[in-house]
Amino acid sequence: MKLWGVALVGLLLGLVAGLIVTWFVVPLEYYDTYPPMLDGPYRHEWIRMTVWVYGLEGDWERTERRLLNIESSEIRVVAADVLEQATVTGQPVEILERLAELAAAYGAATPGVAIYGQGDTVPATGTPAAGAVPAQATPTQAPVSSSPTRTLVPTVTPSLTPTPTITETSAIRIISQTLTCATEPSIAVSLELSRTVEVRGREEQEVVGLPVREIWLLWDDGADRAITGFRPDLGLGYADFDVIPGRSYNLYVDSPYGRPVLAVQVEPCPPDEGAGWISRYLVLRDETEARAASDTLTATLTLTGTGVLSATVLPTSTLMLTATLALTQTATPAP
């Protein structure tokens, strides 16, 4: 055998022996690793926890560092999953928005991201701070005592004391209610807004679903909450609840206070409809803004007498609704 042949045999023997040792006897072990090096399931857990913590704390810089060198494609899947889980478990909207922001930043484009993210979100309009029951002011006027004289100085006593009668009228109006018979009853709502938009110079009415609004269902010893828009295939303003047959419920929008939008008991279906319980599908219209606009009232009062009296009264209900009442009283001399 030639010299090079001997060397080649030695090389092969060394290679085989070396591979046995490096692969099986003393395989490579990692220490002082960092998250991107973790095995898939552990890395997913790291991402999942990081996403949750961003949702709770909102520290973007730290979150980016935690996710450094991890594939965006991996992050976006987990982030979208966390967002979905957070929605199902009824996390606060601000957390959902942060989660959507994070998911969007890593390229997720799920319905949840569209709803809770800032991108294509249809903005929730109005600020129904008092929930579903803002007030409508109906100004009335107290009798005015006046003593008209012919003197130049008006003697009309400015004793106008408008006492607005606050009538609580929900700004959430039930547009339609569809009843169906089901063995497992539910209450579903679609919250929408009618707004005026200008299309090619013409004003048109447009109805849009309102996502990210809280719908509350209260009963004697419990409550449930849903956020609209979680099922965009059914509409951005859609939310639903399973209900217990025979139980009475109060439905609220935005907060579970004040007068409910609907008070209802889950009743059995009429005999001719078959066995089961009545399920309801409500279309609700948010008229908060329209109400606010129409509550600016102007009244003019003409009295006999002399002098001019003007009074501006701003009755403000406790429910965040401000109505402006402008009263102009003109006194003219009697013949």
Partner 1 sequence: MKRLLFFLGGIVLGIGLAVLIGWVLLPLQPQDVSPDSMRDDYQAEYVRLVAVAYRAEEDPAVAEQRLRELDGTPFTAPLVDLAEVWIDAGRSPDLVAPLAELARALGVDTPAMAPYLQDATP
From the CB of 42, what's the least distance to partner 1, in Å? Answer: 6
What distance in Å separates the CA atoms of residue 146 and residue 334, rounded to the nearest whole number? 13
Considering the rule CB under 8 A, would residue 19 count as an interface residue with partner 1?
yes
From the CB of 31, what's the least distance to partner 1, in Å? Answer: 6
Query: Which CB sits closer to partner 1, 37 or 182?
Result: 37
Considering the rule CB under 8 A, would residue 60 count as an interface residue with partner 1?
no
Q: How far is CA 63 from CA 23, 45, 108, in A?
A: 36, 14, 16
From the CB of 168, what's the least distance to partner 1, in Å? Answer: 32
Considering the rule CB under 8 A, would residue 274 count as an interface residue with partner 1?
no
What distance in Å separates the CA atoms of residue 125 and residue 286, rounded to the nearest whole number? 9
From the CB of 223, what's the least distance to partner 1, in Å? Answer: 17
Considering the rule CB under 8 A, would residue 69 count as an interface residue with partner 1?
no
Query: Which CB sits closer to partner 1, 89 or 145?
Result: 89
What distance in Å separates the CA atoms of residue 163 and residue 323, rounded to the nearest whole number? 12
Burial of 232 (0-12, 13-18, 19+ CB in 10 A): middle
Query: Which CB sits closer to partner 1, 34 or 60?
Result: 34
Choosing from 55, 134, 209, 307, the residue that interacts with partner 1 (CB under 8 A) is: 55
Q: Say how many residues touch partner 1, by CB under 8 A.
A: 48
From the CB of 82, what's the least distance to partner 1, in Å? Answer: 9
From the CB of 84, what's the least distance to partner 1, in Å? Answer: 13
Report which of 111, 107, 264, 126 is spatially closest to residue 185, judged by C-alpha positions. Answer: 264
Considering the rule CB under 8 A, would residue 3 count as an interface residue with partner 1?
yes
What distance in Å separates the CA atoms of residue 49 and residue 64, rounded to the nearest whole number? 13
x/- map, 27-46, partner 1, by CB under 8 A: xxxxxxxxx-xxx--x--xx
What distance in Å separates the CA atoms of residue 126 and residue 302, rounded to the nearest whole number? 37
| Strand arrangement, sheet containing 222-227 | 222-227, 214-219, 248-253, 262-265
Considering the rule CB under 8 A, would residue 61 count as an interface residue with partner 1?
no
What distance in Å separates the CA atoms of residue 307 and residue 93, rounded to the nearest whole number? 57
x/- map, 71-90, partner 1, by CB under 8 A: ---------------x----
Considering the rule CB under 8 A, would residue 50 count as an interface residue with partner 1?
yes
Site of tokens 């403000």: 316
DSSP letter (8 states) at residue 22? I
Could you tell me if 259 and 168 are in contact, meaning their C-beta atoms sit under 8 angstroms apart? Answer: yes
From the CB of 15, what's the least distance to partner 1, in Å? Answer: 4
Query: Which CB sits closer to partner 1, 21 or 334?
Result: 21
Query: Which CB sits closer to partner 1, 13 or 314?
Result: 13
Report which of 64, 84, 83 is spatially closest to residue 72, judged by C-alpha positions. Answer: 64
Residue 280 CA from chain centroid, whole number:
21
Burial code of 55-72, b = ≥16 C-beta within 10 A, e = fewer?
beeeeeeebeebbeebee
Choosing from 76, 80, 87, 91, the residue that interacts with partner 1 (CB under 8 A) is: 91
Choosing from 44, 58, 66, 225, the residue that interacts with partner 1 (CB under 8 A) is: 66
- Segment interacting with partner 1 (CB under 8 A) among 19-27, 228-236, 265-273, 274-282: 19-27
Residues at the contact surface with partner 1, assessed by CB under 8 A: 1, 3-4, 6-19, 21-24, 27-35, 37-39, 42, 45-46, 48-50, 52-53, 55-57, 66, 86, 91, 95
